[in-house]
Amino acid sequence: MTPPDRPPRPATAVAPRVLMTRLRSLMAEGRSLDGRLAGVVSLVARSFVADVCSIYLRLENGDFELVATEGLKAEAVKNTRLARNEGLIGLVASEARPQNIQNAPHHPRFSYRPETGEDPYTSFLGVPILRFGRVIGVLAVQNIVSRVYDEEDMETLQTIAMVLAEVVTTESQSGSEELADVAVRPNRPIELIGQSLSEGLAMGPIHLHDPVVAPAQFFARDINDEEVRLKKALEQLRSFVDTMMVQNISPLAGESRDILETYRMLAHDPSWANRLFDAVSSGLSAEAAVDRARREHRARLQNAKDSYLRDRLHDLEDLDNRLLRMLSGNGEGIASQDHDGAILVARRLGPADLLEYRNAGLKALVLEDESTTSHAVIVARALGLPLIGGVGRIMAVVETGDEAIVDGDTGHIHIRPEPDLVAVYRDRLASRSQRLAEFAAIRDLPAVTQDGVKIELLMNAGLGIDVGNLDASGAEGIGLFRTEFQFLVSETLPSLTEQREFYQRVVDIAEDRPVLFRTLDLGGDKILRNTRHNREENPALGWRSLRFALDKPGLFRRQLRALCQATAGRTLCVMFPLVTTPEEFRKARELLNKEVAWCEKHGHSTPQKIHVGAMIETPAFALSFHELKGEIDFLSIGTNDLHQYFFAADRDSRFMSDRYSILNHTFLLFLKDIRKRADEMGIPVSICGEAAGNPAMAKVFALLGFRRLSMPATGVGPVKRAIRNLNLSELGVRFEAVLSENSSDIDKDLLNLLQDV
């Protein structure tokens, strides 16, 4: 059977480049918004040889209103409204992608509106008008004859829709009465909930991490110049990605390069580049071409359910953003402007990106993607920034300049809050400021209980900016210095000299106060940007931390050598993370001894004293550390990892993070047993982790017999005040009674016991 002939595609009246030139002239005319929209639909209808061109904009209630048309009845303008999911317009909006339909009246989503007079029209092509991935309207063309719109038609219409989005937004921001009921940007108060990753309160305007393309940059003044600029920026981007790949051939190289190879493949994808050049050849600037691609990727991302597809779309959007920065001349820099008092909102953010903002005056950080927050968390805490992660779709409901309240204590974000709520949080901020003043007053006082028991309070650190907070925190030293963050924020592996100088600055600032350096805790969720690494189904239980370091002796010994040289003539306190068996500790200590011997042989000064310890983070080591009697100098319980391994519950999972309390009866008895056996061996043991910075939990640890606690710098003041109000001898008997009851509500019983202390 011979297939029927397809109806011919009408030749467009003008080439896309000419259409862009005419559109630019139209936008520059001094017409009202309604006049310009009417001019657009007329221009598009003529250029596409379309019988109808219409613009619908989303209203505050979610409906779509016909605001301009060429071909439908004039009286339908501002009178025809479609529900948010009604008709083909609703289909375009709900899918956030173009819909090309050859026989529209027979489509199941077709909705007939007699007042428009669209009875005879058959073919339909509609594209969403997108802003920050959010659909604010629909642009559609229709024809009486059955017509197949091609890719060029679709791309041209998408470009016009992008221009319309910026025109409508600009008019809305200027207070245009013509847009009084149109939802150009969200303006209703919204409350979102995420996972609290760094405590604190903040109020201020939102700043979106993504680059913004100004409306004035949409059209090309000289297409040849724009093509040259785009080509140069693409070459710069690809060179950057290729350099990352070259740097992967390092001591950390693994078998799989899937993730980075895919990223590189996308950067070199000719179809992506061709679409960008096609957009420029149609009359768009290089920035507008990239921005159009980014809008499409973002809209698809918000509707993608498949995790693999979401990862690839994330990669594409990241490439779009990097290319925009390179076009702007900002290279890889992202924080050249002053954002004093702003709340940074991003889809995802690495620690290096966050550090670029450290001098920008940020007040808080909110991330949409939960799975990538782990690297940025400790940096945010070091900067003293409240941080909430896993806030789904926040990028779709906020814009730069929106006022927001970030409650890092509870994980709540209030967007465009009502005045009454603002007043409540202002009172909370004032109360917090008062408490900070109280903590400052006792900063230089010792943490001694009312019955004379001294509790040593130390702070956790990992960056130079952390160490600068040592004096202000009131801590007596650094109980955990995370050395891996020097690696995580660097584009290349730090050299021996760089490591030595960095560690030396740390001990110089600390002066005579102790600094306990934890050796590299890499692997798992801490993957270096300059390495390739095997993907593991369960990275928390995989090739990480000391296991990783022992398998990479070249990398590990270089760090140990740097530590020995940096602490020459002083005391070196070093501890190994995630020790599982005594044999692992012995292997690590043997490497340290070799580096000390190497320094002595080659005429380098060595530490005056060396104290070597280990982190208790696995139940296996907690039950076997007694085998190291006489070989180990101290122990530190890492509550974060020990807690998650004890309960087999991922601490970063929002479904598991609150399921098992650290105040669980069995876990407390486990901690008590560790402390008791360490005391019997004469080995000092401390508590190290986020829990130590919680005043209530710190009091429980003191009642369990721990006399050294290490915590985030922000926890030192509150914990010191709690310890100074505590009487261990009076409370001890009641505490032991609660502990012996084996109640399922022991956490509540303990909090009730301690609430008045």
Q: Which residues are catalytic?
A: 375, 688
Give φ, ψ of 675 to 5 degrees.
-60, -40
The end-to-end CA distance of the chain, in Å, is 90
Cα 634 off chain centre by: 36
CA neighbours closer than 13 Å in the CB half-sphere of residue 585: 28
Give φ, ψ of 192 to 5 degrees.
-120, 155
Q: DSSP strand E in 229-376: where?
A: 343-346, 364-367
Residue 677, token pair as written in the block: 């056996």
Q: Could you tell me how many residues make up the chain?
A: 757
Residue 153's closest CA among 257, 53, 30?
Answer: 53
Q: What distance in Å separates the CA atoms of residue 632 and residue 585, rounded to the nearest whole number?
A: 9
Find where tokens 């559109």 sit: 23
Residue 581, token pair as written in the block: 């068996």
Find where tokens 């309604």 sit: 34
Report the greatest alpha carbon distance in the chain: 99
Going by the DSSP 8-state scheme, the letter that residue 230 receives in this structure is: H
Beta bridge partner(s), residue 190: 415
Region of residue 200 (left: phi > 0; alpha: psi -120 to 50; beta: else): left
Q: What distance in Å separates the CA atoms of residue 439 and residue 437, rounded to the nearest whole number?
A: 5
How far is CA 452 from each of CA 110, 455, 610, 705, 729, rounded to the nearest angstrom?
Answer: 80, 10, 31, 14, 10
Q: What distance in Å separates the CA atoms of residue 206 and residue 210, rounded to the nearest whole number?
A: 12
CA-CA-CA-CA dihedral for 298, 299, 305, 310, to nearest 10: -20
Alpha helices in 442-522 (DSSP H): 464-467, 470-473, 485-488, 496-510
